[in-house]
Amino acid sequence: MLDDVHGFIIRFYPLISQSPTHIYLSALPFLPKGDAKTLEPWRTRLPSIPLTAAGSDCAWGSLLYSATGHNAEITGLAFSANGKRLVSCSEDKTVRVWDAESGEEVMGPLIGHSERLSWVAVTSDASRFASVSNDRTVRIWDGKTGTPLFDPLEGHTKWVSTVAFSPCGNRIVTGSFDTTLRIWELGGSEVMVLEGHTAPINHVAFSTDAKRVVSGAFDKCVRVWDAQSGATVLGPLEGHTHWVRAVSFSPDNTRIASGSSDWTIRIWCAVEGTQLLVIQGHSNWVLSVAFSPDGRRLASGSFDATVRVWDVESGREVLPPLEGHSVSVKAVAFTRNGDNILSAATDMTQQMWNAKTGQLVPKVVKATTHRVCAAAIANDEQYVAFGFTDGTVQIWNCMSLTTHICRSDDQISAVASMAFSATTEFLLYRLTDARVQVVDLRGNTALDTSLPSTPAEGCDLSSLDNAVSITCLRLASC
> For residue range 94-122, what is the model confidence (pLDDT) as tens digits?
999 987 766 678 898 999 999 999 999 99
**Residue that wins the pLDDT comparison between 209 and 327:** 209
pLDDT for position 55: 46
pLDDT for position 386: 77
Q: Over 70: is that where the pLDDT of 446 sits?
A: no
Q: Over 50: is that where the pLDDT of 288 sits?
A: yes
Q: Are residues 303 and 446 in the same domain?
A: no
402 within some domain: yes
Q: Name the nearest CA neighbour of 247 among 220, 274, 284, 282.
A: 220
> For residue range 390-444, what is the model confidence (pLDDT) as tens digits?
788 888 776 665 667 776 555 567 887 788 887 888 888 888 877 778 888 876 5
Q: Over 60: is that where the pLDDT of 295 sits?
A: yes
Q: Domain residues for 386? A: 372-465
CATH number at residue 161: 2.130.10.10
- Terminus-to-terminus CA distance in the chain, angstroms? 23
- Reduced 3-state DSSP string for 233-262: EEEEECCCCCCEEEEEECCCCCEEEEEECC
**Integer Cα distance of 434 and 456 in angstroms:** 10
51 within some domain: no
Q: Over 70: is that where the pLDDT of 57 sits?
A: no
What number of other Cβ atoms are within 10 A of residue 112's Cβ? Answer: 18
> For residue range 144-187, what is the model confidence (pLDDT) as tens digits?
899 999 899 999 999 999 999 999 899 999 999 999 999 999 87
436 within some domain: yes
Q: Are residues 328 and 409 in the same domain?
A: no
Q: Are residues 323 and 389 in the same domain?
A: no
Q: Are residues 203 and 266 in the same domain?
A: yes
- Reduced 3-state DSSP string for 344-389: EECCCEEEEEECCCCCECCCCCCCCCCCEEEEEECCCCCEEEEEEC
pLDDT for position 182: 97
Q: Are residues 13 and 130 in the same domain?
A: no
pLDDT band at 474 (very low <50, low <70, confident <90, very high): very low
Q: Is residue 124 within a helix (H) or strand (E), and if so which, with residue range?
A: none
Amino acid residing at 369: T
Amino acid residing at 282: H
Q: Are residues 350 and 380 in the same domain?
A: no
Query: C-alpha 48: how far from its chain's center?
Result: 42
pLDDT for position 284: 97
Q: How many domains does the chain have?
A: 3
Q: The whole model's pTM is what?
A: 0.66
Give the chain's mean pLDDT: 79
pLDDT for position 451: 40
pLDDT for position 187: 75
Q: Over 70: is that where the pLDDT of 54 sits?
A: no
DSSP helix/strand/coil, 444? coil
58 within some domain: no
Contacts of 54 (CB under 8 A, 6+ apart): none
Among residues of the chain, what percentage have pLDDT more than 70?
A: 72
Q: Are residues 205 and 144 in the same domain?
A: yes
**Residue that wins the pLDDT comparison between 466 and 31:** 31
- Which of 140-144, 354-358, 390-394 holds the top average pLDDT? 140-144
Maximum Cα–Cα distance for the chain, whole Å?
A: 74
CATH number at residue 401: 2.120.10.30
pLDDT for position 1: 47
Q: Is residue 43 within a helix (H) or strand (E), and if so which, with residue range?
A: helix 40-45
**Residue that wins the pLDDT comparison between 469 and 11:** 11
Q: Is residue 474 within a helix (H) or strand (E), and if so which, with residue range?
A: none
Of 98-102, 177-181, 253-257, 353-357, the least confident = 98-102
Q: Over 90: is that where the pLDDT of 454 sits?
A: no
Task: Please say which residue of 354, 387, 408 terminates a domain.
Answer: 354
**Integer Cα distance of 408 and 54 in angstroms:** 47
Q: Are residues 83 and 182 in the same domain?
A: yes
What number of other Cβ atoms are within 10 A of residue 360's Cβ? Answer: 17
Q: Are residues 290 and 237 in the same domain?
A: yes
> For residue range 8-17, what is the model confidence (pLDDT) as tens digits?
554 554 445 5
DSSP 177-198: TTS-EEEEETTS-EEEEE---S
57 within some domain: no
pLDDT band at 67 (very low <50, low <70, confident <90, very high): low
472 within some domain: no
pLDDT for position 153: 93
pLDDT for position 453: 37
Strands 436-440 and 426-431: antiparallel
Q: Are residues 401 and 255 in the same domain?
A: no
Q: Name the nearest CA neighbour of 83 among 325, 381, 315, 313.
A: 381
Would you give the DSSP letter of residue 24? I
Task: Please say which residue of 293, 320, 354 terminates a domain.
Answer: 354
Mean pLDDT of 45-63: 53
Residue 327's alpha-carbon distances to 74, 295, 304, 343, 426, in angstroms, are 11, 27, 7, 12, 44
471 within some domain: no
327 within some domain: yes
pLDDT for position 439: 84
Mean pLDDT of 212-238: 96
How many Cα atoms are found within 13 Å in the side-chain-facing hemisphere of 139?
Answer: 25
Q: Are residues 386 and 427 in the same domain?
A: yes
pLDDT band at 312 (very low <50, low <70, confident <90, very high): very high
**Integer Cα distance of 453 and 416 in angstroms:** 12
Task: Please say which residue of 289, 319, 354 terminates a domain.
Answer: 354
Q: Are residues 179 and 313 in the same domain?
A: yes
Please give the order of strands across the beta sheet that includes 275-280: 244-249, 255-260, 264-269, 275-280
What's the helix, strand, coil split of the chain in %, to 5? 5, 40, 50
Contacts of 320 (CB under 8 A, 6+ apart): 358
- Which of 1-10, 143-152, 346-355 holds the top average pLDDT? 143-152
